[in-house]
């Protein structure tokens, strides 16, 4: 009997192969989305962790304005869990003639991923950021120009030879390099030279590496940041004590010197008094001798003319010494008043430029794995219930006969469970293959243009596979079993009889005669069938709603991604180019540049742009571009170059001298609004707090637009331009070359270059969107096909009667699909309104920290989603029409009894 049942199972699979594949397809989609989305984030983060470990990352970096001594380093080295600490020299310098600002670090072997060339070995060799490859090539010469006093010299050599290009674990992003206190505040790239290349004395940076007990934890995990924070507190406490000791030593040394000077001043004053007395005695004696009161013999050598001359000289020297000592004492007083307590900054590896943003951006992928797979598993469950229930209804007599012959119910049930299990297993295998290899590759491709990792390792996470297998079994075996087990345990005699037809009942709309009476006969039949086949119609409703939700999500994402470029570069940014001045550009060079721009009839707006930081609630620093327009001409304003639209009213705004505008995404991330205080700091940890007067739209990066009066009050009374916004109708390549030839200009960036950069970033996202749309179409095909196929099988007699009544094949087709079309239209609108919350949730997860997606065009999304679904529906109607034409209408008219 077991052999017979196995053969029957194989026959059933062969005869209903499309249904078999349908279940497999849904499980494959659900599994691939779940495994792919849930494993992509760990794969990328693991790649990041392995990269940090490979290049021997330091856990903390201490930067001190007062320098660091060997004794201070020893104190830190003695702390628990500190494995290694390395003193370094790090300076920020302006490169000539490019005007790029570089962080020049001390080269340490094993800390850099050298992509081309080699490491520096001599004092005149330099290793550059791989990003610098667009400006330099191997063998080029690089010069640095100090942005501070001209007499300061940071390096022994005036010129360096480029010997290699590299990436650094301190900069995981391919673009962002952080802030600096020189130039426009933006650090462009990093560089490394050997320690002997520096001319400056002492060290200003200490890199700290912790013990293996802490480093064995994943840097992107949960335990490592907690351990790192504990160690940071310990290092901070030690450094605070060192700072207090330095302050105390300074005060003690100053007080000691003051006392010594005061003592010397008092001694010179006493000496001057003695000398004054001696001179007075001489004059008194001389007058008495002249008057004859004293004999001439009373005059001593010291009271002679030569003696008085010596006393006078001593008086002058004593006065001069007193003046000098008083000036030295006054200098010590000034030193006390002008003394600034030494400051330091301690940053963990998790506070480097892109560490936290990298982690948060990648983890957002994981959240998607909690949303999309649920739709597929839910629909797979309904499809399986419908298919197995239909199979059982078709084989009622066979089941009843088997039970009458003594076959146990569990053997009969096994057939249907094996059908589900084989179909689900096939889908599970396909889904695992897609989830392990296809989806992670797509998602990794989405982020690879942003980060420096050359290759990503695909790691199989077995717990995810077990979880996907469990969800699949739950969807296609256990839950469906609850629906059909009642039928299988019924008595044999009951199963051998045909199932009685469902008792007719009035539907809700029949209770409203003014509506019901106006419906045609066909419409009434369609509405009754919807309520007659509740489970089947619920399946159709659920499937189409799920399909519509996915389509709304896919087309919504596609809509906002395509709008992103237009919204930012056509609506917000009205300028065509940005020019950047050299940090130390001279007045004559700037004048020559402005004359060139005037001769070419270009509209320009001088601005001061600086990089600042804001601290989020989680402690992470967010990079901000501060823009201060410098034009006093009311006909040449910032809003003519950058459209400042109020984020609420969408009305254009004008930046006043006392205004502070911030962009919407920045306001959301900092959880601030109009009239709140915006607290930001620069690279030197100087902090300001300003009142927000307006929140404006912007879609790429974070900006603060500051009025000139606010800048002068809060930051500096002196303000100069370092960048210029340019508008033009037409500019040739030759014109740009002429502009770059001016000594004042460091670089220029056109709007086309900015657009190209954004397109590279969004290209990968479009691939993911296409996958979501394709999955939605497959979901729609599977649901509608299965429902239509079951509908045809169950209503063969009805179709034969309709055929006998004179209906043509097309009429038969629409007779079957009428209620599906009615319910499908209702499902379209329901899925559309349910899809938008899901869409917003998913887009919130996909939105990178420096991007704000624009609001979607809802009518376009609805039309695209509905059209796709209707096209899918139409294709299936055509396919099913040919199936209906192939039916044996005369044979189906026979009584099934």
Q: Which of 336, 364, 478 shows the shortest CA–CA distance to 420?
A: 478
**Do residues 31 and 432 touch, judged by C-beta distance below 8 A?**
yes
Confidence class of residue 703 from pLDDT cuts 50, 70 and 90?
very high
Contact in structure between 56 and 111 (CB atoms under 8 Å): yes
Whether pLDDT at 895 is above 60: no
What pLDDT digit, counting tens, does each position of 12-63 carry? 778 778 778 878 887 887 888 788 878 887 888 888 888 888 888 899 999 8
CA 421 to chain centroid, in Å, comes to 41
Determine the average pLDDT of the residues in 398-420. Answer: 81
Q: What mean pLDDT is reported for the chain?
A: 81
Residue-level pLDDT at 288? 64
- Show the tokens assigned to 281: 């005695």
Decide if 366 contacts 39 (C-beta within 8 A): no
Cα–Cα dist 688/715, whole Å: 8
pLDDT band at 166 (very low <50, low <70, confident <90, very high): very high
Residue 696: the pLDDT is 93
Distances in whole angstroms, Cα of residue 790 to Cα of each of 16, 480, 490, 602, 880? 11, 17, 23, 71, 11
Structure tokens at 533: 């086949």
Please tell me whether the peptide bond between 761 and the residue prior to it is cis, using omega within 30 degrees of 0.
no
209 pLDDT higher than 70: yes
For tokens 């429902």, the residue is: 787
Whether 658 has a pLDDT exceeding 60, the answer reads yes
Structure tokens at 235: 């290092």
Taking phi over 0 as left and psi of -120 to 50 as alpha, with beta for the rest, 506 belongs to beta
**E runs forming strands in 575-676:** 577-581, 603-615, 621-629, 660-663
Q: Where does the pLDDT of residue 293 fall: very low under 50, low under 70, confident under 90, or very high at 90 and above?
A: low
Does 165 score more than 90 pLDDT?
A: yes
Angstrom CA distances, 343 to 247, 378, 620, 686, stand at: 11, 59, 20, 11
What would the two tokens of residue 795 be?
Answer: 């209503």
Residue range 594-620, pLDDT digits in tens: 888 888 888 889 998 888 888 888 777
pLDDT at site 121 = 92
* Tens of pLDDT, residues 233-288: 899 889 888 888 888 887 888 888 878 877 877 877 777 777 777 767 766 766 76
Query: pLDDT band at residue 151, thresholds of 50, 70 and 90?
Result: very low
d(C-alpha 401, C-alpha 634), whole Å: 95
What residues does 93 pair with on adjacent strands?
102
Degrees, nearest 5: CA angle 719-725-731 = 145
**Rounded Cα–Cα distance for residues 61 and 59 (Å):** 7
Question: What is the Cα–Cα distance from 817 to 647, expressed in whole angstroms?
Answer: 47
Q: Quote the pLDDT of residue 63.
A: 87
Q: Are strands 677-681 and 687-691 parallel, antiparallel or unpaired?
A: antiparallel
Cβ proximity of 395 and 419 under 8 Å: no
| Each residue's pLDDT tens digit, 445-483 | 777 777 888 777 777 888 888 888 888 888 778 877 777
Q: What percent of the chain has pLDDT over 70?
A: 91
Count Cβ atoms within 10 A of the Cβ of residue 327 and give its class: 0-12 exposed, 13-18 middle, 19 or more buried.
Answer: exposed
Determine the pLDDT at residue 889. 64
So what's the pLDDT on residue 335?
A: 76
What pLDDT does 372 receive? 72
User: CB–CB of 743/834 below 8 Å?
Assistant: no
Q: How far apart are CA 652 and CA 644, in angstroms?
A: 6
- Residues in CB range of 72: below 8 A, 6 or more apart: 239, 242
CB 423 within 8 A of CB 429: no
**How far, in whole angstroms, is CA 329 from its chain's centroid?**
56
Residue 736 contacts residue 609 (beta carbons within 8 Å): no
pTM value > 0.85: no
Give the DSSP letter of residue 700.
B
Q: Secondary structure of 544-574 in the HEC alphabet?
A: HHHHHHHHHHHHHHHHHHHHHHHHHHHHHEC
pLDDT digits (tens, 9 = 90+) for 791-840: 777 777 777 777 777 777 777 777 777 878 888 888 889 988 888 888 88
Whole-number pLDDT of residue 150: 41
Listed in sequence order, the DSSP H helices in 395-491 are 396-404, 409-433, 439-447, 462-473, 479-488
Comparing C-alpha atoms, which of 519, 510, 420 is closest to residue 19? Answer: 420
Cα-only R_g, the chain: 41
At 549-601, the pLDDT tens digits run 888 888 888 888 888 888 888 888 888 888 888 776 778 888 888 888 888 88
**Cα separation, 613 vs 626, whole angstroms:** 10
pLDDT value of position 297:
52
Per 3-state DSSP, the chain is made up of helix, strand and coil in percentages (nearest 5) of 60, 15, 25
Measure the CA angle with vertex 165, ends 160 and 167; round to 5°: 130
Alpha-helix residue ranges (DSSP H) falling in 16-152: 17-54, 70-77
> So what's the pLDDT on residue 306?
62
Whether residue 179 is predicted with pLDDT greater than 90 in this model: the reply is: no
Neighbouring residues of 638: CB distance < 8 A, sequence distance ≥ 6? 605, 607, 627, 629, 631, 644, 655, 705
> Which of 540-549, 652-661, 663-672 is predicted with the least confidence, judged by mean pLDDT?
540-549
């Amino acid at each position: 009997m077991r052999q017979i049942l196995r053969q029957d199972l194989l026959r059933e699979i062969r005869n209903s192969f499309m249904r078999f594949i349908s279940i497999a397809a849904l499980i494959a989609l659900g599994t691939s989305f779940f495994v792919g989305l849930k494993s992509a984030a760990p794969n990328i983060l693991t790649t990041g962790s392995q990269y940090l470990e490979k290049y021997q990352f330091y856990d903390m970096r201490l930067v001190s304005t007062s320098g660091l001594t060997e004794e201070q380093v020893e104190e830190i080295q003695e702390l628990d869990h500190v494995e290694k600490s390395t003193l370094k020299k790090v300076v920020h310098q302006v490169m000539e003639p490019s005007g790029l600002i570089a962080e020049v670090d001390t080269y340490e072997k094993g800390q850099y991923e050298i992509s081309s060339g080699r490491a520096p070995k001599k004092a005149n060799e330099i290793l550059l950021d791989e990003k610098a490859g667009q400006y330099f090539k191997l063998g080029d010469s690089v010069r640095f120009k100090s942005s501070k006093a001209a007499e300061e010299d940071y390096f022994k050599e005036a010129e360096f030879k480029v010997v290699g290009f590299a990436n650094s674990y301190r900069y995981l992003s391919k673009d962002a390099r952080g802030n600096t206190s020189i130039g426009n505040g933006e650090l462009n790239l990093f560089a490394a030279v050997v320690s002997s290349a520096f001319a400056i004395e002492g060290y200003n940076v200490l890199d700290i590496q912790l013990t293996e007990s802490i480093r064995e934890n994943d840097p992107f995990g949960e335990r490592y940041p907690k351990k790192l924070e504990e160690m940071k507190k310990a290092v901070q406490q030690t450094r605070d004590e060192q700072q207090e000791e330095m302050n105390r030593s300074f005060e003690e040394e100053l007080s000691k010197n003051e006392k010594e000077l005061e003592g010397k001043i008092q001694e010179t004053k006493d000496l001057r008094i003695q000398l004054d007395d001696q001179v007075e005695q001489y004059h008194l004696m001389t007058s008495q001798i002249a008057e004859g009161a004293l004999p001439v013999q009373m005059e001593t050598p010291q009271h002679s003319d030569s003696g008085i001359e010596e006393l006078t000289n001593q008086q002058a020297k004593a006065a001069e010494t007193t003046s000098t000592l008083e000036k030295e004492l006054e200098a010590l007083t000034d030193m006390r008043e002008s003394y600034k307590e030494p400051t330091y900054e301690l940053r963990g590896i998790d506070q480097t430029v892109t560490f936290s943003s990298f982690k948060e951006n990648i983890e957002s992928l994981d959240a998607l794995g909690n949303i999309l797979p649920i739709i597929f598993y839910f629909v797979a469950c309904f499809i399986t219930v419908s298919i197995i229930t239909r199979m059982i209804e078709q084989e009622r007599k066979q089941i009843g006969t088997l039970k009458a012959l003594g076959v146990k119910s569990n053997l009969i049930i096994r057939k249907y469970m094996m059908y589900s299990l084989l179909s689900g297993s096939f889908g599970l295998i396909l889904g695992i293959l897609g989830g392990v290899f296809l989806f992670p590759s797509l998602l990794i491709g989405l982020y690879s243009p942003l980060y420096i990792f050359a290759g990503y390792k695909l790691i199989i996470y077995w717990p995810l596979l077990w979880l996907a297998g469990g969800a699949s079994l739950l969807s296609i075996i256990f839950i469906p079993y609850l629906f059909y087990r009642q039928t299988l345990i019924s008595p044999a005699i009951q199963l051998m009889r045909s199932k009685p037809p469902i008792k007719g009942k009035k539907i809700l709309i029949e209770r409203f005669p003014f509506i019901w009476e106006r419906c045609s006969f066909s419409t009434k039949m369609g509405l009754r069938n919807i309520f007659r086949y509740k489970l089947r119609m619920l399946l159709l409703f659920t499937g189409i709603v799920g399909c519509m939700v996915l389509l709304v999500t896919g087309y919504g994402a596609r809509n906002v991604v395509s709008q992103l470029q237009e919204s930012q570069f056509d609506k917000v940014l009205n300028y065509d180019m940005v020019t950047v001045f050299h940090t130390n550009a001279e007045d004559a060079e700037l004048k020559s540049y402005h004359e060139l721009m005037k001769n070419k009839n270009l509209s320009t707006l001088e601005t001061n742009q600086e990089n600042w930081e804001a601290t989020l609630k989680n402690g992470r620093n967010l990079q901000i571009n501060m823009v201060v327009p410098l034009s006093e001409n009311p006909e040449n304003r910032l809003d003519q170059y950058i459209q400042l639209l109020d984020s609420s009213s969408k009305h254009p705004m004008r930046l006043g001298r006392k205004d502070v505008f911030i962009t919407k995404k920045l306001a959301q991330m900092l959880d601030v609004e109009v009239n709140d205080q915006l607290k930001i700091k620069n690279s030197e940890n100087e902090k300001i707090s300003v009142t927000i007067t307006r929140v404006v739209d912007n879609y790429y990066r974070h900006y603060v637009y500051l009025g000139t009066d606010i800048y002068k009050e809060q930051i500096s009374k002196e303000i100069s331009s370092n960048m210029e916004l340019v508008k033009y109708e037409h500019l040739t390549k030759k014109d740009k070359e002429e502009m770059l030839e001016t000594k004042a200009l460091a670089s220029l960036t056109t709007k086309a270059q900015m657009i190209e950069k954004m397109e590279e970033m969004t290209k990968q996202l479009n691939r993911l969107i296409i996958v979501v749309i394709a999955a939605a179409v497959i979901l729609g095909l599977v649901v509608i096909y299965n429902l239509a196929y079951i509908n045809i099988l169950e209503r063969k007699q009805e179709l034969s009667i309709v055929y006998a009544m004179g209906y043509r094949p097309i009429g038969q087709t629409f007779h079957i699909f009428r209620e599906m079309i009615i319910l499908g239209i209702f499902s379209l609108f329901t899925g559309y309104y349910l899809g938008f919350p899901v869409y917003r949730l998913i887009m919130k997860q996909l939105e990178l920290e420096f991007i704000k997606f624009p609001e979607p065009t809802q009518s376009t999304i609805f039309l695209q989603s509905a059209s796709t679904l209707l096209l899918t529906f139409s294709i299936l109607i055509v396919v099913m029409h040919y199936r209906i034409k192939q039916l044996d209408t005369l044979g189906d008219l026979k009584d099934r009894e």
